Amino acid sequence: MSSGSVERSGEDSLVAISALQHWLYCPRQCALIHLERVWSENRFTSEGKVMHERAHDGPDELRKGVRIARGQHVRSLVLGLTGQCDIIEFHSDGGIVPVEYKRGKPKAHRADEVQLCAQAICLEEMKETSIGRGFLYYGKNRRRHEVAFDDELRSLVAKTAVEVNECLEGGRTPKSEYNKKLCEACSLIEQCQPKVLGRSVSRWFKDNLETQN
């Protein structure tokens, strides 16, 4: 396997684009969802699901020379990815702009940007074109944030795709590492048990006894 591509021959073996976002948030979360098929909803995932459904609903539209397509399937055999775009804008000048909807706010990490750029790379492969930018729409501040698909971001997409494919093909779920900010917001915290599995059981009991005392 090369460091920059996966080169899958058929769509049956393609990995969900969302797995890249999950991987950069937490490799263990990614494996639980896409390898072990574990899923659980919390307030954050439910709100995100509603936002995506709203973006996908309805027919295509034409607004001021821009055709808006919703919920379109995309794939890349080079990166081994498949997924669905919330919105794709087809501009009258030939430009193609993907738009991804997120419930929260812009983040310090690049997981959302990688997910959006992966969609663009899929579109480029399917449409035989070049896409220079896209937008992340965050429900928290109700604003679009432009994302430039530069070489650095494209390299991160390719690297992450390889890492995810290697993890899923290897069939091994990474060990848990407790991170309060990430873990407490994760809908899989009960299934993952990072506080227990990230430490020895004896250490977990000791910490809880000290807390109670």
Report pLDDT for 103.
Answer: 86
pLDDT of residue 176: 86
Give the model confidence (pLDDT) of 151-196 as tens digits: 999 999 999 999 999 999 999 999 988 999 899 989 899 889 888 7
For residue 175, what are its two tokens? 């060990």
Nearest to 99 by CA among 68, 49, 137, 63: 137
What's residue 203's pLDDT? 46
Round to whole Å and give the CA distance between 76 and 26: 23
Mean pLDDT along residues 44-71:
77
Q: Binning pLDDT at 50, 70 and 90, where does residue 4 land? A: low
CA distance 146 to 99: 9
| CATH topology assigned to domain 11-174 | Lambda Exonuclease; Chain A (3.90.320)
In the three-class reduction of DSSP (H, G, I as helix; E, B as strand; rest coil), residue 23 is classed as helix
Task: State the average pLDDT over residues 57-86.
Answer: 92
Q: At residue 205, what are phi and psi to the nearest 5 degrees?
A: -65, -40
Domain ranges of the chain: 11-174, 176-213
Q: Cα–Cα distance between 51 and 64 in angstroms, integer?
A: 24
Cα–Cα distance, 106 to 142 (Å, whole number): 11
For the record, the structure tokens of 106 come out as 């812009």
- In tens, the pLDDT along 90-148 reads 999 999 999 999 988 888 889 999 999 999 999 999 999 999 999 999 988 889 999 99
